[in-house]
Structure 1
Amino acid sequence: MTLHVENPGRSAVAAVIGLGSMGFGMAQALKRAGLAVVGYDVAPAAVARFIAEGGRGASTLGEAVRDADIVVSVVVNAVQTEAVLFGPEGIASVMKPGAVFISSATMDPAIARDLAQRVEALGFHYLDAPISGGAAKAAKGELTIMASGSARAFAAARPALDAMAAKVYELGDAAGTGAAFKMINQLLAGVHIAAACEAISFAAKQDLNLEKVYEVITASAGNSWMFENRIPHVLAGDYTPLSAIEIFVKDLGIVQDMARAERYPVPLVAAALQMYLAASGAGMGRDDDSSLARLYAQLSGAQLPGTIKA
């Protein structure tokens, strides 16, 4: 099945809602693939930046989606996703007939199913499509997308999926499955970051050469993708938020809520969540999630690069 457009000679129009670190890169990838892209963000500066890079900007949600065949929502959570769709300026009343709404926010699978039912009842398509890969891969169009939805939703979304992702996993015909896969990923990611930060700070407490620790561990069985990716931030003393502490406060909180509903124990998640909460409470919530290493250092007196020795 192919995407239906009124004029087969024109490019599909895609609206990207949310031009943060991920959404901006995704909008760039869509534009590079030849789609006509309109960007919207609550921060006017983000829209201005997209316009400066050759994209089209919109000042309201309605303006952004009115002519869009594909709407890519890259907001933070389920609450924001619902507001985009059904809030006071919600797009559900102005979307183009037959358009597909691609939801990339991380959320509880039950909420994804509810949103999909409400969107599809209005005659639109809904693709549950959380993402993984980070801002750099978003900008290159090399994300991993964990998607579920109807065959018609996949067909309508295909031009955008092909542009944004190196891997698109088609995980079922019902919304919620993609969200569930993403939560398993976030469980592992959050725990692995906490473990990596605990390890590197423990190494610092022992006055080990941290550059050499990184070299040895990344060549050894104790390595993980998160250790390899996040510990360079610690070594550089640079906690610029590529993925913030608050993301895992939210996501591990969702995992814990899901597990509690299933009467399933998640002790590693619980321990990691407490560290993210502590880092947030210490004023690091908007900093990079590798800031957990700083928290460990503060608690233990370990000396990390870029910190002032007491």
Structure 2
Amino acid sequence: MKVTFVGVGAMGLPMARHILRRFPVTVFDPDSARTAELAAQGATAAVSAAEAARGADVVVVMVATPAQLDRALFGDDGVHAGLPAGSTVILMSSVGTDCAADAGRRLEALGAKVVDAPVTGGASRAETGELTVLAGAAPDVLDGVRPVLNLVASRIALCGGRVGDGQAVKLVNQLLCSVHLAAAGEALQFARALGLDPVQVLAAIEPGAASSFMLSDRGPRMLSTDTPPVRSAVDIFVKDSSLVLAAARKSGAVTPLAEQAAALFARAGDQGLGRHDDSSVIRMFQKEPH
């Protein structure tokens, strides 16, 4: 099985590395340094998404935004220009239901099969190959690409038979993640305000009922005296929160906590933290500007 991987950033690069251990992989990313790193490990680097897609059985796309997905798939020298009929495109980007469904229709019109497969678990689980895939696809189409997905994920959840169903579940996931991340920052800064050592507080509460993945994963970075490496940028939550709120408005859902979290991330972005690690959202709870 020949695999193409488009978009090898903080999430995509380790995912492509895992796939490369079993299948031949051709990679494309606008940042040639990233593809060079994978080429040194045995991948084939392409100069365009179209070139990367030629001859592929499976094309994985892992980019950050709806605009990037549209450009990667349908822009000049995009995947569409090299996509073989009968191949399967796995959309692993978190781009919202409408964007994924539209991309799916356009790809299917080109003769491709499509799996809507956003992931959760962050860069840490991308590194270990233990992501969760939230899949929207016909079961037989999903089964055809399980050998690829099993290399990057410890769990594949079939969320529905339509392209877009995986995205819908990812929106629910991101609502929770954004609220949990904001709550973690608020709680640790609250501990400081009470005169407590937040490192000790984190150690005390992290094993208990008040814990969350966001508290366990981001808490130590929030409290680090060093600038944390960017594992997931604030801008990702700005984007994902906007997708959540757009879907909430469309569906009539009441989401006050999501609205508060979205406003918090938007403010962090406005204050120049957009490209910083998302753990830096704790600064929004500090009285002194940073």
TM range (shorter): over 0.9
Whole-angstrom distance in 2 between the partners of 1:136 and 1:196: 18
Q: TM-score, normalised by structure 2?
A: 0.95
Whole-angstrom distance in 2 between the partners of 1:91 and 1:158: 21
Match for residue 147 of structure 1?
135
CA positional deviation for 1:289: 0.8
1:104 aligned to 2:89?
A: no
1:196 aligned to 2:184?
A: yes
Q: Given the alignment, which residue of 33, 36, 50 partners 2:24?
A: 36
1:253 aligned to 2:239?
A: no
In structure 1, give the amino acid aligned to 2:16: A
Q: Given the alignment, which residue of 220, 228, 231 partners 1:232?
A: 220
Q: Given the alignment, which residue of 63, 73, 77 partners 1:75?
A: 63
In structure 1, give the amino acid aligned to 2:61: S
CA positional deviation for 1:152: 4.1
1:62–1:90 contact (8 Å) kept in structure 2 = yes
Whole-angstrom distance in 1 between the partners of 2:50 and 2:201: 52
User: Matched residues, percent identical?
Assistant: 35
Q: Given the alignment, which residue of 40, 57, 64 partners 2:52?
A: 64
2:19–2:152 contact (8 Å) kept in structure 1 = yes
Whole-angstrom distance in 2 between the partners of 1:139 and 1:229: 14
- Give the secondary-structure state (helix, strand or coil) at the position aligned to 1:163: coil
Structure 1 stretches lacking a partner, 5+ long: 1-11
Query: 1:123-147, CA deviations, whole angstroms, 9 ceiling, x for partnerless residues?
Result: 1011000011122322332210001
Match for residue 263 of structure 1?
252
Query: 1:208-229, CA deviations, whole angstroms, 9 ceiling, x for partnerless residues?
Result: 1111100111133222111111
1:29–1:138 contact (8 Å) kept in structure 2 = no
Select between 203-212 and 247-256 the one with higher mean Cα deviation. Answer: 203-212
RMSD between superposed Cα atoms in Å: 1.5
Whole-angstrom distance in 1 between the partners of 2:281 and 2:145: 37
Q: How many residues align?
A: 289
- Give the secondary-structure state (helix, strand or coil) at the position aligned to 1:231: helix
1:242 aligned to 2:231?
A: yes
1:14–1:72 contact (8 Å) kept in structure 2 = yes
Whole-angstrom distance in 2 between the partners of 1:141 and 1:227: 21
Match for residue 127 of structure 1?
115
1:99–1:125 contact (8 Å) kept in structure 2 = yes
Whole-angstrom distance in 2 between the partners of 1:70 and 1:139: 21
- Give the secondary-structure state (helix, strand or coil) at the position aligned to 2:114: strand
CA positional deviation for 1:270: 0.9
CA positional deviation for 1:301: 3.8
Residues 264 and 151 from structure 1, CA distance in 2 versus in 1: closer, same or farther, beyond 3 angstroms?
A: closer
1:16–1:73 contact (8 Å) kept in structure 2 = yes
Q: Given the alignment, which residue of 192, 198, 206 partners 1:218?
A: 206
2:59–2:87 contact (8 Å) kept in structure 1 = yes
Whole-angstrom distance in 1 between the partners of 2:210 and 2:131: 26
In structure 2, give the amino acid aligned to 1:106: S
Residues 22 and 30 from structure 1, CA distance in 2 versus in 1: closer, same or farther, beyond 3 angstroms?
A: same
CA positional deviation for 1:87: 1.2
Match for residue 176 of structure 1?
164
Query: 1:128-175, CA deviations, whole angstroms, 9 ceiling, x for partnerless residues?
Result: 000111223223322100011123421332221121111011122211
Structure number with larger C-alpha Rg: 1
Whole-angstrom distance in 1 between the partners of 2:140 and 2:206: 43
In structure 2, give the amino acid aligned to 1:249: V
Q: Given the alignment, which residue of 178, 184, 187 partners 2:175?
A: 187
- Give the secondary-structure state (helix, strand or coil) at the position aligned to 2:5: strand
CA positional deviation for 1:205: 2.0
Query: 1:38-96, CA deviations, whole angstroms, 9 ceiling, x for partnerless residues?
Result: 11100111111111233221111122110211100000122211221211222213212
Whole-angstrom distance in 1 between the partners of 2:228 and 2:195: 21
2:222–2:282 contact (8 Å) kept in structure 1 = yes
